[in-house]
Structure 1
Amino acid sequence: MDTAVLMTTFGVIFLAELGDKTQLTAMALAIRYPWKKVFVGIAAAFALLNVGAVLVGKILFAVLPLFWIKFMSGGLFLFFGVTTLRGGEDADEEEGKKASARGPVVTSFVMILLAELGDKTQLVTTSLAAQYDSPLAVFTGSTLALWLVSLIGIFLGRQLIRVVSLYTIQKAAGVLFLVFGVIVLYQAFSGR
């Protein structure tokens, strides 16, 4: 494995994703669900996305137009925004008791998969894989960078609970999901 390619990919992807919607999504999900389950879903989504970016990224975009990817992603963010805003503290406690082991994992996986499909970091990963003859180094660097950024978001979210009430954080997360949904839908319809 080419260490220089791995480090270059890691640095580029880490900086591109730092403070992006994915990190904020990880933070919001970790407030609502157990962080380990959230991370499993996020990690699996990024691993799958990076395999796609490195191996079949160009084919994927030829088969599924970016408009539909963004349209589904925006709709999903709006859905989670509304459901997060509608839920109160009691509903979250009851939901936490009923949640199966895979509920938070699947939720995290689907949200990240749809939000990141066709995103700048996936396009950069595809580009780096095309530039360098080291697909394993590109995959590893990109995946590790995305996992680290997600973990930073998760742990910032967990610390935030100590300072701000869970109710306030959940309402802010709901608004955040709605804002992301509107932005992604705007991008879909404006061709960006």
Structure 2
Amino acid sequence: MEAFLISTGIVALAEMGDKTQLLALVLAARFRKPWPIVAGILVATLANHAAAGAVGAWIQTQMGPSLLRIVLGISFLAMAGWMLIPDKLDDDEADKAPRFGVFGTTLVLFFLAEIGDKTQIATVMLAARYEAGLAWVVGGTTLGMMLANAPVVWLGEKVTKLVPIRAVHIVSAVVFAGLGIAALISA
């Protein structure tokens, strides 16, 4: 359960102001059909984070416990620094034609935008950290994505204006730094 709760919290915080959250806002404004957008986000996130979790679980089997803790500690500290760099949505991501309908367009754009994103990297690291909890990590990171993105789809720009994104990024950075220091101390 710890893996689920930590994964949910970290990804929900990391996703605030992230390019995929901005993409969710753009898709909501463009299509004005929240249900297929939210469904596309859910399916894309499950697929992306399941793959990322599998990579993290594989990494965990390839390293000894001490080396893994050091790598995770350094990775979490690097993620803390990355959290302080705001994301911007690439203009071409939002201008794709809805060839596959609202659901399909959301699924493809969200899946592609999430590749190499902070939350995907966090999922890899969390899956490596919680070796016995892969399903909990993927479930938690997916829930975190949905907690951050579904309200944006339904409530639009109001949500992003109510939440101080910079403060959320700082809190996320502190959480990642704490995890990194804890991993390094335990090594």
Q: TM-score, normalised by structure 1?
A: 0.59
CA distance in 1: counterparts of 2:6 and 2:142, whole angstroms: 13
CA distance in 2: counterparts of 1:78 and 1:143, whole angstroms: 25
- Alpha-carbon offset, residue 79 of structure 1: 3.2
1:16 and 1:121 in contact (8 A); partners too: yes
2:49 and 2:142 in contact (8 A); partners too: yes
> What runs of 5+ residues in structure 1 fail to find an aligned partner?
60-75, 85-98, 161-192
C-alpha spacing 1:126/1:40, structure 2 compared with 1 (3 Å): same
Partner of 1:79: 92
- Alpha-carbon offset, residue 152 of structure 1: 1.7
Are residues 1:7 and 2:5 paired? yes
Number of equivalent positions:
127
1:6 and 1:141 in contact (8 A); partners too: yes
Partner of 1:157: 156
C-alpha spacing 1:57/1:135, structure 2 compared with 1 (3 Å): closer
SS of corresponding position for 1:45 = helix
Partner of 1:49: 48
2:56 and 2:127 in contact (8 A); partners too: no
Partner of 1:110: 108
Partner of 1:124: 122
1:23 and 1:152 in contact (8 A); partners too: no
1:57 and 1:126 in contact (8 A); partners too: yes
Q: Deviations over 1:70-107 (max 9, x none)?
A: xxxxxx944355569xxxxxxxxxxxxxx78x511111
C-alpha spacing 1:126/1:80, structure 2 compared with 1 (3 Å): closer
SS of corresponding position for 2:4 = helix
1:27 and 1:156 in contact (8 A); partners too: no
C-alpha spacing 1:23/1:46, structure 2 compared with 1 (3 Å): same
Identity of aligned residues (%): 35
Q: CA RMSD in A?
A: 2.7
> What runs of 5+ residues in structure 2 fail to find an aligned partner?
59-88, 160-187
CA distance in 2: counterparts of 1:158 and 1:121, whole angstroms: 21
Q: TM-score, normalised by structure 2?
A: 0.60
CA distance in 2: counterparts of 1:106 and 1:55, whole angstroms: 24
CA distance in 1: counterparts of 2:127 and 2:96, whole angstroms: 38
